[in-house]
Amino acid sequence: MSELTADRSVKTVFISYSHEDYESAFRLYSELKEKGLQPWLDKESLLAGQVWREEINKAIKNSQFFIPILSSNSVEGRGYVRKELKEALDILDSISYSKIYVIPIRIDNCMISDRKVNTLHIVDLFPDWKQGFEKVLRAMGVENMTNFDWTSLLHSIHERKCTPFLGREAFMRSNNGKASIPLEQDLANRWAEKYDYPLSDSYRLSRVAQYMAVKEGDDVFPKELLSIEIKKITIPDFSLSVYRNTPHTVLADINSAVYFTTNYDHFMEEALKSRGKQPISDFCRWNEDLVSYAKQNAIGSYLYRKDDGLKITPGNPLVYHLYGDIDHPRSMVVTEKDYFDFVINLNRYEVKDLFPSFACLQLISNSLLLIGYSLDDIIFRTIIRSIVTSLGIQFRLSNILVMQPSELIINNKISQAQGYIEQYSKKILKMQPYWGDALAFSKELRHELDTFSNSY
């Protein structure tokens, strides 16, 4: 019996394909994953040593949707697509044809002879992949993810009135689709093992880092280790066309004067340099020790003097690291205590006293674009709420929060959850949400910017 009737918080999708069509299958897999779904593709999902035939059967039965990629290769051959499709159609017989489960797609003009398949509406991904893909999303009930009005945002970018925030989920990806910077969970588990972390939440970096700081008697110890880890990473050459649609490069091209980031790395600075700009880096003085440290080392003091002649411009933009900078490990917000102190001090003092005045002005007068954040992150929500309240920021159509559907959604209540989160984002955070991940958004924003610029 299929588990299709079970409550599920993430939509799972099995992709069946002929090995000759792997390129199309992987593209579909990647784009579904970018949209917050959980696709299953044998070469990406099978683990070494698993009995592949059994795992495939299990994945078909446990998936909420089955997508067979139909092509001249798969319909004319005798490969596994036919066998997997038969199994999926048998499952469909057992549940009800009124429920969408099998979503057949064509990638070329092949003839479909199977009677049962022909009773279903077939989506063509040729010649227009994007249009066909949106139909697939609508079939799975996630049409809101692509229903987005770009007009206000594009105009604010064109007028250089857009201030971006860049978060940790806007990471770079290598050619195999994996993150090119260490994910917090992976690093936390590695440190937990190395330093003998005794609690069950070894996946939480802030908790593991706090344990390390207490154990070593040095609050800066885990920050220095993290700084070393990040500095080992080879920063991509953002001038290469392969990186044109990545979040960092797209943001570098919107010509903002100030970039806020909660990342410690200098990816944003390097992306700006690849565009011929000369960025200035600075970090938030979120405690008294950092104020003294910055003064003693003459770090960015000119940014806080109103009478200084320095001009922050799109050609010389400020990259402001809210959670600290790898070049100054003591500025990094890493341990659990750091996060608590950051939030407490952000609420204790006026934001305008913690941030450079020019940066505050950009927050008040410009549209805000937040990429790489999760609404599941209570610290993030608290910080944004504090900034919004302190500076009196109002809701604008061009204030955008890019997010994937929350992992906290239960019982497949996607539409109810999205409705609530949209209202929460607008009323509490003064943002409107875009449903999708950072890479999906940046690709679409690049396309919209290119189209928009051609209209002028």
pLDDT single digits (tens) 195-241: 999 999 999 999 999 999 999 999 999 999 999 999 998 888 999 99
The DSSP annotation for 122-174 comes to PEE-SS-HHHHHHHHHHHTT-GGGT----HHHHHHHHTT-EEEEE-TTS--B-
Q: What's the confidence (pLDDT) of residue 380?
A: 85
Residue 384 gets the label, from left (phi > 0), alpha (psi -120 to 50) or beta, of alpha
| pLDDT tens digits for range 88-123 | 999 988 876 667 899 999 999 999 988 889 889 999
Task: Round the average pLDDT of the chain to a whole number and report it.
Answer: 86
Q: What's the confidence (pLDDT) of residue 205?
A: 94
| The pLDDT of residue 158 is above 90 | yes
Q: What's the confidence (pLDDT) of residue 310?
A: 63
| pLDDT tens digits for range 358-378 | 899 999 999 999 998 877 788
Q: How far is CA 406 from the centre of its chain?
A: 12
| The pLDDT of residue 16 is above 70 | yes
Identify which of 198, 53, 136, 145 has the alpha carbon closest to the alpha carbon of residue 440.
Answer: 145
As a whole number of angstroms, the distance between CA 272 and CA 280 comes to 10
Q: In this structure, what token pair is assigned to residue 220?
A: 């800066």
Q: CB count, 10 Å around CB of 22?
A: 15
Confidence label for 303 from pLDDT (cuts 50, 70 and 90): confident
CATH topology of domain 12-140: Rossmann fold (3.40.50)
| The pLDDT of residue 181 is above 70 | no
Residue boundaries of the structural domains of the chain:
12-140, 151-181+233-454
Cα angle vertex 148, ends 28, 143, to 5°? 50
Mean pLDDT, residues 383-393 taken together: 92
